[in-house]
Every structure is written in structure tokens, then in C-alpha cells.
Amino acid sequence: MSRAPRLLPDIVPVTPSAYEDFTRCRRLHYCGHLLGIPPSDPAPANDQGLLVHDMLWRIHATGSCHDDAHVDDVLAAHGASSDAVRELVGRHARRCPARGAERSAHEQELARFHRLPPPMFMATARIDAIWVHDGLLDARDYKTGSPWHTRVADVPAARVQAFVLGAAAARRGLRLRLRYEYLQPEVDDDPEPWEPDDDDLALVEEELRAAVEAMWRERDWRGVGEPDVCGRCRYRSICRDSAAPGEPSWPVLSMA
Ligand SMILES: [Zn+2]
């Protein structure tokens, strides 16, 4: 019997990326979230994506994305005044509900605990932006890659985001809308936003609970071994089940 189940804490943490990985490949989840192995095949650094997230947070924290002079000031103050960054911010502004919003929050870490029926888990998610308007809790996830799904409801990570956001919306008597904003110019349409009702959110909670139960039952943590999945996996070179093995790119000592 594998010792892997002992790696699970009594209250299993569930994040959007952990659940995304678990649904994609159990060995990926095992290596990344239970063993915490550094990636043997890290994804290329997404410096521009991180910069745009940071700039959007600063722009909204101190003013409005619809105020061009303010946007210019924030970008200039952080050395981010390139045409590319300006265009990504502009693409956000066209979709931003800030003008009619009563309240907003940015870069919020939310958590929601599930106790019964067992097993227990603690879901957490960091949400890029939340606006309250028209009876909605309008949550946004900024994206600078390419969409994989045509509906937010189909994204495993979004199931965890909706679970934590749903409780926040219900406490305020608001309906939840979760939207993924694709900021790259080459992406024409965002995936269809998701407005889960109470029944949908109850199903999401059961789905996450069942996934955590499956983690407790898991013994082998076998990889899916599919070229499509393995080819972009951050452990493809060290995974015993990889369908796309290669050379690891661990950090190595370099000396003159
Ligand atoms: Zn905005």
C-alpha cells in the first residue's frame, strides 16, 4: 500500500490550481501539491502577465481604469508604459464595470470550509477583482494566455473560485457572476461568464467533496499518460508515466 494518503492533512487544502491539476492528472497533483517537487519542466516565465495583473490592481486601488491620465501616471511610475501593457489595460477597461459599481475589491484571498459530509476540506482562491453592481457580485479573473474552454462553468479552477465566491455573494444577498477576461489582443471573445445559482453551487460543493474523497482513496497516483496532457506538464521529464519524456531542466551549477 502506498504511503501517499498520509500526505493528506485532515483538512485538505483545495485551490483552483490544485483542483485543475487533480482533474487533469492525478500524478501531477501528487508531485506538485502533495510532494511539492519543483518543476522539472517549468513553464516559460509570464512576466508580462504578472506585470499587467499588478498594474490593474494599482490602477484600481488608487483611481479608475477609465481615467487615461491616471493610467498613464501609474504605468509611468512603475516603468510599465509600453504599448503592449497599455493595450492590455485598455482591453480590460472596455469590460470594466467600475463606473456603475457600488463597491470593489482587488486581489482578495477568499476561503470557505467544508465540514460535512466528510471529508473536510478548505477551499481558498485569490480573486483578481470583484465589483458589486446591479445585484451582482461580479468577479473577474484576468487572463493573459489562450482560452481552453468556451464556458467558464467548464473550467475546473472556476469550480473552486465559484465555491468560495458563492458564499461571499450569498452573505450579501447578491447573485454571483464569474467572468474570465482575456486581455491578449489575439483573443476575440471571452468564455461565456458563469452565473451559478444555489443549486449549481450545491452541486459544486458535492463535486469538490467527492474529489477530496477520491484523494483519500487514491493509492497509486498514476499519471494519465496522454501526449496532449503530458506534453505541457511541468513534470513530464521525471514522471514514471509520462507520454512525453524529455530532459529535466533543473537548476544547475554554472561556474566560470
Ligand atoms: Zn477597471
Q: Parse the chain into domains and list their residue ranges.
A: 102-215
C-alpha cell at 157: 479552477
Digit-coded pLDDT (tens) for 92-137:
999 999 888 999 999 999 999 999 999 999 999 999 999 999 999 9
Taking the centre of ligand 1 as the mean of its atom positions, its distance from the CA of residue 97, in whole angstroms, is 7
Taking the centre of ligand 1 as the mean of its atom positions, its distance from the CA of residue 219, in whole angstroms, is 46
Taking the centre of ligand 1 as the mean of its atom positions, its distance from the CA of residue 59, in whole angstroms, is 8
Taking the centre of ligand 1 as the mean of its atom positions, its distance from the CA of residue 103, in whole angstroms, is 12
CA distance linking residue 205 with residue 87, whole number of Å: 38
Taking the centre of ligand 1 as the mean of its atom positions, its distance from the CA of residue 192, in whole angstroms, is 19
The pLDDT of residue 249 is 77
String of b and e for 97-107 (b: at least 16 CB within 10 Å)?
Answer: bbeeeeebebe
The pLDDT of residue 6 is 76
Q: Which residues surround ligand 1, an ion (CB under 5 A)?
A: 65, 96, 98
What 3 state SS string does 112-130 have?
Answer: EEECCCCCCEEEEEEEEEE
CA distance linking residue 197 with residue 242, whole number of Å: 39
The pLDDT of residue 207 is 98
Taking the centre of ligand 1 as the mean of its atom positions, its distance from the CA of residue 180, in whole angstroms, is 14
Taking the centre of ligand 1 as the mean of its atom positions, its distance from the CA of residue 64, in whole angstroms, is 6
- Alpha helices for 144-250 (secondary structure H): 156-171, 198-217, 227-230
pLDDT tens-place values along the chain, 256 residues long? 455 457 899 999 999 999 999 999 999 999 999 999 999 988 888 899 999 999 999 999 999 999 999 999 999 999 999 999 999 999 999 999 988 899 999 999 999 999 999 999 999 999 999 999 999 999 999 999 888 899 999 999 999 999 999 999 999 999 999 999 999 999 999 999 999 999 999 999 999 999 999 999 999 999 999 999 999 999 999 999 999 887 777 777 778 7
What does DSSP assign to residue 191?
P
Taking the centre of ligand 1 as the mean of its atom positions, its distance from the CA of residue 164, in whole angstroms, is 22
Taking the centre of ligand 1 as the mean of its atom positions, its distance from the CA of residue 46, in whole angstroms, is 21
Taking the centre of ligand 1 as the mean of its atom positions, its distance from the CA of residue 66, in whole angstroms, is 7
Closest CA to 7 of 222, 210, 216: 216
